[in-house]
Structure 1
Amino acid sequence: MNDTSYHNLIMKHMDHNALMYGWDNITNISLGDQNNTECAQVMIPHELFLTLGLISLVENILVVLAIIKNRNLHSPMYYFICCLAVSDMLVSVSNVVETMFMLLTEHGLLVFTPHMMKHLDNVIDIMICSSVVSSLSFLSTIAADRYITIFYALRYHSIMTTQRAVTVIVIIWLASTISSTLFIVYYTDNAVIVCLVTFFCITLVFTAVLYLHMFVLAHVHSRRIVAFHKSRRQATSMKGAITLTILLGVFIICWGPFFLHLILILTCPRSPYCTCFFSHFNLFLILIICNSLIDPLIYAYRSQELRKTLKELVLCSWCF
């Protein structure tokens, strides 16, 4: 995990443009002639990556199973949350698979040819890119769903039907897979990183605008809902909006350093201060994995129905 996968696309891009001479060189560049101090690469044990990846994978599998099992959770919002959990699973699976291969290779239990390693890296890179694009897309979709629930409560079921929700889900997954594949094929082009950063910024702005509008006008709109005896529905909708606000905040905190990393590659790849920032990349990977680990805890904490179903699944699996 430490030197491939998440960083593979970036390093390929940088090597192609002769900006760097590999990850090992990046992490040992001096901060300049002024102080002659080196920025040592932050090393994190493979076992920690593997442990966090396995815990995250189990958590997200439980969330998906809980949503499938409980009919009360069969609604568009929970369908989107289920897909968000699947996106987190892509991160966990890629992390677990790559770390296991690295551990087996280090101990001489598995031998890879360069051709096999290249294909493995490409597959893992596609999974990671798909996870990023789909996660951002589903966060925006959930924000739009909450917006419709709050401001078009009486027409929600006619606007956000199950068929439309499924159509949105299929479109997002197709777009994520196709775009991720293209990103890997054309990794040598600056446009790849520019597109990722631009998509990240656009989706965050779109989601932030929706949430701002929701929270500013929700109080006024709630009076109209109360007049139609829908106060309970309004409270539930706002709770869902708050939950997704927390999810978005966690996503920004965990993925922000990674996207800052991409921005610095475009703006100051040769600067000693930027290369010092690059040396902390393994910490950024831990944050990304932690995002996949924290999300299920947020679902469970904010949804009593989901929490109840998760408890049942855990108890049943324990008894079995």
Structure 2
Amino acid sequence: MPNGSYNPILHVDFSSINDYLEDNETNSSMGEHNSLGCVQILIPQQLFLALGLISLVENILVVMAIIKNRNLHSPMYYFICCLAVSDMLVSVSNVVETIFMLLHDNGLLVVHSEMLQQLDDIIDVMICSSVLSSLSFLCTIAADRYITIFYALRYHNIMTTQRATAIIVVVWLASITSSILFIVYHKDNAVIVCLVTFFCITLVFNAVLYLHMFLLAHVHSRRIVAFNKNRRQSTSMKGAITLTILLGVFIVCWGPFFLHLILILTCPTSPFCNCYFRNFNLFLILIICNSLIDPLIYAYRSQELRKTLQEFILCSWCFGV
């Protein structure tokens, strides 16, 4: 993931260990000017490793808290748990690759080109699966909140545990299968088109749902009041706000990466686009930050999850002492 050299013909190879090892440079947090006058922000490997480890621990805590607390055993939290697993894929791939590079740089590990390629492909599949599954589960969670708000009385009949399980299985199978195909055919521009199209469809789908939820919230609130379900409505709208924050963070963190893909299609040889390409490591840092921020949003917005996490951390600390 943290490459020491820039690959100007990067397609969907999210990480390129071979390029890194062939032309390794010393990364620093300072900007660097090249012959074209572009500013390249170089990221130290230690920062990749630190953020990856923090993100991994956070998401593991979220998954364990949802598993432990029976009050969180509902379709919405099942989807949130899967989103946390998606974030873990990014963290694991980042940690593994960074450790691999640090060991190689210090002469503690000698590898062959075939092994490098295999590891590179596995990491690429993991990251691509994370992209697709994260987008899919954001849509799924948004749809779940939409049903909760506008079909509150029929929610448990519509979103059953069996249906939620089926959705989760389909999303993961589709994400993993698509990721493998994307990596196999990564040299085809059609892969980039598919990724960008899926990203745009996801944003439009979520934007439409959120807009409808907020525009009709007042009308639906009156209906809920008639059935004395004020608290349910408040909880549902709180969930919608949480998902809006999650989507906003996702756009900020993943947007530069997808813009990178779009520019590869539209202006691969333009000097301006090449300057943008040179900061690919910065875009990777933003992706890792997304997987780090998501658990913080869950803990802050969900009182039940926050309480469970606090109890879990406190018990773990006491046990350690």
**Shorter-chain TM-score above 0.5:** yes
Q: What SS does the aligned partner of 1:41 have?
A: strand
Structure 2: 5+ residue stretches without partners: 14-21, 25-31
| Letter paired with 1:319 | C
The corresponding residue for 1:2 is 2
The corresponding residue for 2:215 is 216
Does 2:153 match 1:154?
yes
User: What is the CA deviation profile of residues 136-163 of structure 1, one whole-angstrom value per residue up to 9, with x for unaligned ones?
Assistant: 0000001100110011000000000000
Report the Cα offset of residue 171 of structure 1: 0.2
> Could you state the TM-score of these two structures normalised by the residue count of structure 2?
0.91
| Letter paired with 1:10 | L
The CA RMSD measured in Å over matched residues stands at 2.1
Residues 145 and 239 of structure 2 are in contact (CA less than 8 Å); yes or no, is this contact kept in structure 1? Answer: yes
Separation in 2 of the partners of 1:29 and 1:205? 38
Residues 1:299 and 1:170: Cα distance change in structure 2 (over 3 Å):
same
| Letter paired with 2:290 | N
| Letter paired with 1:198 | T
The corresponding residue for 1:87 is 86
Residues 1:88 and 1:184: Cα distance change in structure 2 (over 3 Å):
same
User: What is the CA deviation profile of residues 179-201 of structure 1, one whole-angstrom value per residue up to 9, with x for unaligned ones?
Assistant: 00000011111100000000000
The corresponding residue for 1:200 is 199
Structure 1: 5+ residue stretches without partners: 14-21, 32-36
Residues 1:252 and 1:288: Cα distance change in structure 2 (over 3 Å):
same
Q: What SS does the aligned partner of 1:125 have?
A: helix
The corresponding residue for 2:170 is 171
Separation in 1 of the partners of 2:9 and 2:122? 11
Q: What SS does the aligned partner of 2:128 have?
A: helix
Report the Cα offset of residue 10 of structure 1: 2.9
State how many pairs are aligned.
304
Separation in 1 of the partners of 2:119 and 2:138? 28
Separation in 2 of the partners of 1:94 and 1:172? 20
Residues 55 and 293 of structure 1 are in contact (CA less than 8 Å); yes or no, is this contact kept in structure 2? Answer: yes
Residues 30 and 272 of structure 1 are in contact (CA less than 8 Å); yes or no, is this contact kept in structure 2? Answer: no
Q: What SS does the aligned partner of 2:243 have?
A: helix
Q: How does 1:28-47 map to 2 (within 5 A)?
A: 30-31=35-36, 37=37, 39-47=38-46
Report the Cα offset of residue 173 of structure 1: 0.2
Report the Cα offset of residue 42 of structure 1: 2.2
Q: How does 1:83-122 map to 2 (within 5 A)?
A: 83-122=82-121
User: What is the CA deviation profile of residues 246-281 of structure 1, one whole-angstrom value per residue up to 9, with x for unaligned ones?
Assistant: 000000000000000000000001000000011111
Q: How does 1:56-67 map to 2 (within 5 A)?
A: 56-67=55-66
Separation in 1 of the partners of 2:136 and 2:7? 22
Residues 1:165 and 1:112: Cα distance change in structure 2 (over 3 Å):
same
> Could you state the TM-score of these two structures normalised by the residue count of structure 1?
0.91
Residues 69 and 308 of structure 2 are in contact (CA less than 8 Å); yes or no, is this contact kept in structure 1? Answer: yes
Residues 300 and 307 of structure 1 are in contact (CA less than 8 Å); yes or no, is this contact kept in structure 2? Answer: yes
**Percent of aligned pairs sharing the same letter:** 78
Separation in 2 of the partners of 1:256 and 1:7? 20
The corresponding residue for 2:127 is 128
Report the Cα offset of residue 40 of structure 1: 4.8
Report the Cα offset of residue 92 of structure 1: 0.2
The corresponding residue for 2:286 is 287
The corresponding residue for 1:248 is 247
User: What is the CA deviation profile of residues 31-59 of structure 1, one whole-angstrom value per residue up to 9, with x for unaligned ones?
Assistant: 4xxxxx3x253211111100000000000
